[in-house]
Every structure is written in structure tokens, then in C-alpha cells.
Amino acid sequence: MVKLPVFDVLGQAFTAPFRFAWPLLPFFIVAGILVLGLVFMPFLFLAGPETVGGAAASLSLQNVILISAAFLAAYLVFTSVAVATHRVAAGAEHPWRLLRPVVRYFFIALLLTLIGLVFFAAGFAIIALVSGAQMSLEADASSINPTGAIAMVLFVLFAVAIGARLFLALPAAALQKKNVMSLAWRVSQGSTLRLLGAWVLYFILMVAINAAAFLVVGGTNVLMQNPEMTPGGMLGAMGAGWLIVNVVVNYYVTVAGAAFLTYSLIALLPNDTAGSPTSDAPA
């Protein structure tokens, strides 16, 4: 049985944004512009003579449908970025054939979201009931019972470990694997703790990278300002710097995250004894 090579997977994931800057960075920028346009488009249509005092027009059924359709289209555009990243990082054949993979990816992501909501709702409800029952038995009402907090932390870690296995279904869907949920569960068997550790390291590194990027750009902007520059000019220059760093950091986070899932799946695919076929086998 193949075990997840944690540091190898993380190394490939965190260098992927540089290795695939072309063509993923231009694609990401265009997709970001489309998403912003789609998000703000409904409000342009809703703003009109009927708008009073800057307040939005009343939400009729037609307006609700328009807003929902715009946000769905924006989400599909963002999904196409993730799918393209999975396929490019995996070296899939015809990586830019995105229509079918994006549709499958969308429904798998929706299924995973529903599973997560039900799982967390049930878990938190059980913890709340058990903790409440124990606290009611306490003689001193002011005493602190750590049982609920400990149970919450353990439950979150357990949920992340399960999610780390199931989320491998996302790159599997992007690569047009079959039965992606069962495939993700099969290939990750025996690597649950390694996946959990990889996810924890991934989030720690991401937080550090984000903090460093924004600190650097903020400090650089302040140091480079001309002391005689007007406050408005200074804010404008800093605003441009923040915009650029936001685009770069968001690109890096998106590509590294998708690549992390992709390389985790590829590393564990030899465990698929059922031999799930695919039309886009990774190189």
C-alpha cells in the first residue's frame, strides 16, 4: 500500500503556481475580471429610477432569479479555474477541455458541501447535548467544564481527517475519473493521518505566506512614499499595491490549493486496486 509522501506533495503544490504561471496566471486574471463583472452585474440592472435614496430596488422574483443566475455563473467561472489547475498540474490529455469536467466538479463540490453541513450539524448538536447534560449535573454552576471544548477540538480534527480523504474526489472529477467519491475513499485508506498532517501543514504555510505577502507590500508602500506626497496620492499608490498583491496572492492560494489536492490524488492512485478508468490519465 502506497503512503502519502507529505513533503513531496507539499513541495510540488507550493511550486506549482510558479511552474504553471503560463498559462494559468492569465487565465486566472481573465476569470477574476469575469467573476467581478458577474457579481456586480445584477446591481447595475437593479439600479434605476425606482431606486430611492441609494437603496436597492425591491427584490422581486425576477430580480432574485437574475442575482442567483449571476452568482451561479460567477461560481462556475471560478470552478473552471480550479478544474483547469487540476488538469494542467496532472498533465492531463487535452487539459483545456473543461465543459464536462466543470459540470461534474460542480456537482461533486455541491455534494461534498451538503455532506459537510449535515456532518457538522449532527456533530455539534450531539456535543452540545452531551456537554449541556454534563454541565447540568455540576454542583457549582460557575465551574468550567472542559469536556465540551475538548470534544469540539477532537470532532473538528476528525472532520478534517474525513474531509481530507473525501476532497480527493474533486481532482478525480476534474480528471474525469469514474465513481470519484468511492475512488477518493479507497485510495486514501491507510493515509488518513498523513493527509490530516498534510492539511495542517498546508494551512499553516498558507497563513504564513499570506501574512508575509501583505506585510511586505504594506511596508514597501510606506517606505517608498515621497514625504511630500499628498494623503490622497499615498492612498492611491497603496491601493494599487494592495490590488496587485491581492491578485498575486489569490492566484497563488488557488493554484497551490488545487495542485495540493491533485498531487495527493496522483500519489495515492496506485492504491486503486479496483482500477477506476479515466479518459484523462495523468502523466
**For residues 178 and 238, which has the higher predicted lDDT (pLDDT)?**
178
**Beta carbons of 253 and 206 less than 8 angstroms apart:** yes
pLDDT at residue 17, as a whole number? 97
Q: Look over the chain and give the mean of its residue pLDDT values, rounded to a whole number.
A: 83
Q: Say what the pTM is.
A: 0.84
pLDDT in tens, 61-107: 788 888 888 899 999 999 999 999 999 999 999 999 999 999 999 99
Taking 60 as the threshold, does the pLDDT of residue 137 lie above it? no
**Beta carbons of 22 and 256 less than 8 angstroms apart:** no
Nearest to 161 by CA among 129, 205, 194, 206: 194
Residue range of the domain that includes 90: 6-46+60-271
Whole-angstrom distance, CA of residue 143 vs CA of residue 82: 48
Judge whether 55 lies within some domain.
no
pLDDT at residue 145, as a whole number? 59
pLDDT at residue 59, as a whole number? 62
Judge whether 276 lies within some domain.
no
Judge whether 25 lies within some domain.
yes
Judge whether 260 lies within some domain.
yes
pLDDT, average across residues 253-264 = 97
Percent of the chain with pLDDT over 70: 77
Neighbours of 42 (CB within 10 A): 19
**For residues 244 and 161, which has the higher predicted lDDT (pLDDT)?**
161
Alpha helices, H only, the chain: 6-19, 21-46, 61-90, 99-136, 147-166, 169-174, 180-187, 192-224, 231-268
Into how many domains does the chain fold?
A: 1
pLDDT at residue 76, as a whole number? 94
Taking 50 as the threshold, does the pLDDT of residue 54 lie above it? no
Judge whether 170 lies within some domain.
yes
Judge whether 117 lies within some domain.
yes
Taking 60 as the threshold, does the pLDDT of residue 197 lie above it? yes
Judge whether 67 lies within some domain.
yes
The residues pairing with 177 across neighbouring beta strands, listed in sequence order, are 278
Judge whether 278 lies within some domain.
no
Q: How confident is the model at residue 186 (pLDDT cuts 50, 70, 90)?
A: very high
Q: What are phi and psi of 153, to 5 degrees?
A: -65, -45
Taking 90 as the threshold, does the pLDDT of residue 242 lie above it? no
pLDDT at residue 219, as a whole number? 53
pLDDT at residue 52, as a whole number? 44
pLDDT at residue 275, as a whole number? 60
Q: What are phi and psi of 87, to 5 degrees?
A: -75, -40
